[in-house]
Amino acid sequence: MPECECQIRRRCNRERKMADRKLTGSEIIVKALVNEGVETVFGYPGGAVLPIYDAIFQQNQLKHVLVRQEGGAVHMAEGYARSTGKVGCVLVTSGPGATNAVTGLTDALMDSIPLVCLTGQVPTHLIGNDAFQEADTTGITRPCTKHNYLVKNIADLPRIMHEAFYVARSGRPGPVVIDLPKDIQMGTATYKNLSQVEHKTYQPRLKGDISEIEKAVAMIAAAKKPLFYCGGGVINSGLKASKQLDRLIKLTGAPVTLTLMGLGAYPGSDDQFIGMLGMHGTYEANLAMHDADLIVAVGSRFDDRVTGRLNAFSPNSKKIHIDIDPSSINKNVMVDLPIVGDVGVILDQMLRVWKAKKLTTNQRAIKAWWKRINEWRQRECLKYNQSGSVIKPQYAIERLYEATKGHDCYITTEVGQHQMWAAQYYKFDEPKRWMTSGGLGTMGYGLPSAIGVQVAHPGALVVDISGEASFLMNMQEMSTAVQYGAPVKVFITNNQYMGMVRQWQELMHGSRYSESYTDALPDLVKLAESCHWVGLRATKADEVDDVIQEMISIDRPVIADIWVDQKENCFPMIPSGAAHNEMLLGPDDDADQSGAEDGMVLV
Amino acid sequence: MVVDLTIERHTIAVLVDNEAGVLARVIGLFSGRGYNIESLTVAEIDSDDAISRITVVTSGTPQIIEQIKAQLERLVPVHRVIDLTADGANVERELALVKVVGKGNKRVEALRIADIFRARVIDSTNESFVFEISGATEKLNAFTDLMVPLGLVDVSRTGVVAIARGKSAL
Ligand SMILES: Cc1ncc(C[n+]2csc(CCOP(=O)(O)OP(=O)(O)O)c2C)c(N)n1
Ligand SMILES: [Mg+2]
């Protein structure tokens, strides 16, 4: 039956009222999150965010994962973000909730992870009064966020909510904090979905300058010893960037090395990949870096772990640097040709120019370059000696790789030797499969990060390659994994030492192992059981495969406690302050004493 | 590439949204990354759009100066960063209020020097003057140096403001 005129009028009025209906701040927050595509927020309640928790209670579009400590929430959001490419979302209370989030925010800033972290704040009229659970959150987080906001006027709330997501994911991604006084959460305002809105001035440049791109491809075509040096920027740019990188590298026939953050940007099992570079990179990658005549840096930032001693870094090469962040260019290393823009877009532009100009590389020179590289490869710098029953940590990780490579598998790590062994022995063929704390080196990152990954990919196999000391730093999140049915696996290369600290003490402090041995470790198998996990243990080399198989087959969270050789060190190693060609290849190489002096002040 | 290690002094203008915390962001960037601030001034220049202009005088190697500009540009509320020193001719001015206390000959001498420097007297008592002087930083330095033996007791300076010569605008 058609509506009569008065019915139509009534319906229009009703609709207008709905549109104008004022929402509370908390409802606006939840609505904005949903409109930004957030499915899960990782958080922990408290007095200053109760209105937001109330709004979450009264809806069912947004899921909430209750962590056990706010630091865990931020790392979970990081794992979620890195494995999906989406913005991770965190919700914590004022004061201690916010300060507990600081490590994770700094971690996300260093590794360019897009996050939006909502923090509660005391009501605006109490700000500055040393009120209960008040902290100057925007002050504290200013240096550890890409940007932050304190919402003082509820009319600004919808814009700020959406702008925060735009800022977090645009350009070089990073964490954004929105500090939300309680009265703002409880006030009312109208809401308009602004999720398509950009920032009025913050508009990072995406396309590369075409004349620079032409120069770059000409330099690549002319090079005799080119090397692609690619980092996390390729992964952040998206899957397409990895595809384009793959094409360009196949077209040029050049070798490629990846940073710790870049693993997976190019297939790790491909022959043109010569391994990770830097402090614990491969012999061939570091020597190629040292000897190259052209370095093409793509989404990497010449970090000190990568360059070694700066004045000896790749002394004879021309350098092209492609990055979305102009402040990364010429920061540590002066380059010959900077190109600012999105890595994926620029690689695409380069491929087009390459094909249009029908360019080829100098085949004979490249062949000679590969011959050289293959000689270096024959040093087999990652070889280790698994004999007898004592488990070598490298063996454990290599076996883990062999057993899981066919799976839909994601790897996270903690920080230490196990992290470097994971980077060396686990081969990543796809981007977004590897989450590790690279820039900040945060012990305790791996377990919560793995839970975040598992929440995003419920059916996948998610393994945290862990050290026993790092694991203890955030093991409270075991309980979170159980509550949300996240069957993560924690694969611990247990050496009872803070192995990386022990290694530095051995090499640089006369083997005085000051406070690097963990006495009174918990029985990790019993610990697992008491937390409703499954605990497995391998103490001999021939038990490793069985434990790994069992771990994979159990559809619950598992700790695999692998007792490894306590004295094993991580090689190759470029000691701090040394150059790429001053690498230690094994226990028989001595750190050069003169260089070690200078290097000791470095970290 | 060869790295140039000469220290240069640059005057940089930064247009920013006049929002809470923006100055702290800029200052925090300088202190957090170990850059120099020789002077820094800030005031709103467009109240309709709430835009402020920060003028910062800094020094460093050419590589550091480039870093400073790139880091400033990365801040979300920053609209533009202009290196007035690198972009050609510019004029720089600073204003100072200088209090000199004294009697007799010293008082006369202070007035005479103020006249030479085109400083204005904006307050006086039997025993004191407050001079207002503007000009380049070096001129102000020279003036205050001369006033020390004549009874200088207090100085308040604005820091440098600067603008490019010619008809082009930011
Ligand atoms: C939060 C934090 N504190 C301290 C350190 C310094 N640190 C780096 S590695 C390491 C030891 C890690 O030990 P473990 O987790 O057992 O790993 P392993 O090196 O033995 O494989 C320490 C203490 C750090 N990276 N992070
Ligand atoms: Mg250990």
pLDDT tens digits for range A338-347: 999 999 999 9
Structure tokens at A362: 């100098």
A552: tokens are: 């994979």
- What tokens were used for A374? 């293959």
Residue B112 burial (10 A CB sphere; 0-12, 13-18, 19+)? exposed
Each residue's pLDDT, cut to its tens digit, for chain B (170 residues) gives 567 889 999 999 999 999 999 999 999 999 999 999 999 999 999 999 999 999 999 999 999 999 999 999 999 999 999 999 998 899 999 999 999 999 999 999 999 999 999 999 999 999 999 999 999 999 999 999 999 999 999 999 999 999 999 998 87
Chain B nearest C-alpha distance from A552 (Å): 44
- The order of strands in the sheet holding A318-323 is A273-276, A256-258, A226-230, A294-298, A318-323, A337-340
Cα dihedral: A164, A167, A169, A175 (round 10) = -70
Asked if A327 is an interface residue toward chain B (Cβ–Cβ < 8 A), one would say yes
Start-to-end Cα distance in chain B: 33
Whether A143 and B32 lie within 8 Å, measured CB to CB: yes
pLDDT band at A3 (very low <50, low <70, confident <90, very high): low
Distance A302 CA to ligand 2 centre (A): 28
Determine the distance from the C-alpha atom of residue A57 to the mean position of all C-alpha atoms in its chain, rounded to a whole number. 31
Q: Is the dihedral of CA A519, A520, A522, A525 positive or negative?
A: positive
Taking the CA of residue A444 as reference, the ligand 1 atom at the shortest distance is 1
* pLDDT for B84: 96
Closest ligand 1 atom to Cα of A493: 21
Q: What is the pLDDT of residue A199?
A: 86
What H or E segment, with its residue span, contains residue A373? helix A363-377
A133 Cα to chain B: minimum distance (Å): 21
Residues of A in contact with B76 (CB under 8 A): 146-147, 167, 199, 202
Q: How confident is the model at residue A13 (pLDDT cuts 50, 70, 90)?
A: low
Beta-carbon contacts of A257 under 8 Å, excluding residues fewer than 6 positions away, are A227, A228, A229, A230, A273, A274, A275, A276, A277, A281, A282, A285, A288, A289
Kindly list the residues from chain B whose CB atom is less than 8 angstroms away from the CB atom of residue A310.
none
CA distance A497 to A306: 26
Q: Is the CB of A447 under 6 A from ligand 1?
A: no
How far is the centre of ligand 1, averaged over its atoms, from the C-alpha of A603 (Å)?
A: 13
A595: pLDDT strictly greater than 60: no
- The residues of A annotated as belonging to the active site are 70, 132-133, 182, 500
CA angle, B114 as apex, B110 and B117 as ends, to 5°? Answer: 145
* pLDDT at residue A106 is higher than 80: yes
Pairwise CA distance, residues A471 & A491, whole Å: 10
Report strand pairing: B128-135 vs B90-101.
Answer: antiparallel
**Out of A142, A319, A329, whose CB is closest to B28?**
A142
Q: Are B119 and B98 in contact (CB under 8 A)?
A: yes
Alpha-carbon torsion angle B139, B141, B144, B148, nearest 10: -140
pLDDT tens, A347-401?
999 999 999 999 999 999 999 999 999 999 999 999 999 999 999 999 999 999 9
Amino acid at A234: V
Choose the mutation target among B14, B61, B74 for the interface with A, i.e. most A CBs under 10 Å: B74
CB A61, CB A87: distance < 8 Å: no
* Cβ within 8 Å of B, A 286-325: 319, 325
Cα distances (angstroms) measured from residue B3 to each of A64, A202, A453, A526, A578: 52, 31, 43, 58, 20
Backbone angles phi, psi at A486, to 5 degrees: -100, 105
Interface touch B25/A325, C-beta < 8 Å: no
Q: Answer whether residue A35 shows pLDDT above 70.
A: yes
Q: What are phi and psi of A452, to 5 degrees?
A: -60, -40
CA dihedral A425, A427, A432, A437 (to 10 degrees): 10
CA atoms within 13 A on the CB side of A371: 7
Ligand 1 center to A501 CA (angstroms): 7
DSSP state of A590: P
Domains B8-83 and B90-163 share a fold: yes
* Ligand 1 site, residue A417, Cβ cutoff 6 A: yes
| Cα of A499 from ligand 2 centre, angstroms | 5
Task: Estimate the share of chain B in helix, then strand, then coil, as percent rounded to the nearest 5.
Answer: 30, 40, 30
Q: Of B52, B25, B37, nearest to A139 (Cα)?
A: B25
- Please list, in sequence order, all residues whose beta carbon lies within 8 angstroms of the beta carbon of residue A473, skipping any fewer than 6 positions away: A414, A443, A444
CA gap A578, A309 in Å, rounded: 5
Q: Is the CB of A229 under 6 A from ligand 1?
A: no
Cβ distance B74 to A326 less than 8 Å, yes or no, reads: yes
A159 lies within 8 A of chain B by CB? no
With a CB cutoff of 8 Å and minimum separation 6, the contacts of A345 are A206, A207, A208, A237
Summary mean pLDDT of chain A: 95
Chain A positions touching B21 (Cβ under 8 A) are 138, 142, 148, 150
What sign has the CA pseudo-torsion B11, B16, B19, B20? negative
Structure tokens at A595: 């260089």
| Type of residue found at A88 | G
Could you tell me the distance, in angstroms and rounded to a whole number, from the CA of residue B128 to the centre of ligand 2? 72
**What pLDDT score was predicted for residue B1?**
59
> Does any CB of chain B come closer than 8 Å to the CB of residue A167?
yes
* B chain contacts of residue A167, beta-carbon cutoff 8 Å: 76
Q: What is the mean pLDDT of residues A224-235?
A: 98
Domains observed in chain A: 19-189 (3.40.50.970), 210-377 (3.40.50.1220), 393-572 (3.40.50.970)
CATH T-level topology, domain B8-83: Alpha-Beta Plaits (3.30.70)
Nearest to A330 among B2, B17, B63 (CB): B63
Q: How far apart are CA A281 and CA A254, in angstroms?
A: 18
- Domain residue spans in chain B? 8-83, 90-163
Query: What residues form DSSP beta bridges with B81?
Result: B14
Q: Nearest 5°: phi and psi at A92?
A: -135, 165
From B76's Cα to the closest Cα of chain A, the distance in A is 6
DSSP secondary structure letter of residue A62: S
Do A327 and B78 lie within an 8 Å CB cutoff?
no
A99: contact with B, CB 8 A cutoff: no
The SS3 assignment for A36 reads coil
What pLDDT sits at residue A20?
Answer: 65
Distance A397 CA to ligand 2 centre (A): 14
- Taking residue B7's Cβ as centre, other Cβ atoms within 10 Å add up to 11
Phi, psi of A248 (to 5 degrees): -65, -40
Whether A330 and B67 lie within 8 Å, measured CB to CB: yes
Instruction: Tell me the nearest-neighbour CA distance from A76 into chain B, angstroms.
Output: 26
Tokens 């140096």, residue located: B145
Give the CATH architecture of domain B90-163: 2-Layer Sandwich (3.30)
pLDDT of A300-313, one tens digit each? 999 999 999 999 99
Q: Is A236 in the pocket of ligand 1 (CB under 6 A)?
A: no
Ligand 1: residue whose CA is nearest its atom 13:
A498
pLDDT of residue B169: 85
Ligand 1 pocket check for A415: Cβ under 6 Å: yes
A147 neighbors A173 (Cβ within 8 angstroms): no
**Mutation site for B-interface testing, chosen from A323, A331, A336, A340 by largest number of B Cβ within 10 Å:** A331
Contact (CB, 8 A) for A412 and A79 = yes
ipTM associated with this complex: 0.91
Residue A280 per-residue DSSP state: T
Report the length, in residues, of chain A.
603
Query: Which residues lie at CB < 5 A from ion ligand 2?
Result: A 467-468, 495, 499
Please report the number of interchain residue pairs, chain A to chain B, with beta-carbon separation below 8 angstroms: 45
**Which of A74, A437, A500, A567 has most ligand 1 atoms within 8 Å of its beta carbon, as the pocket-test mutant?**
A500
Cis peptide leading into residue A393 (ω within 30°) = no
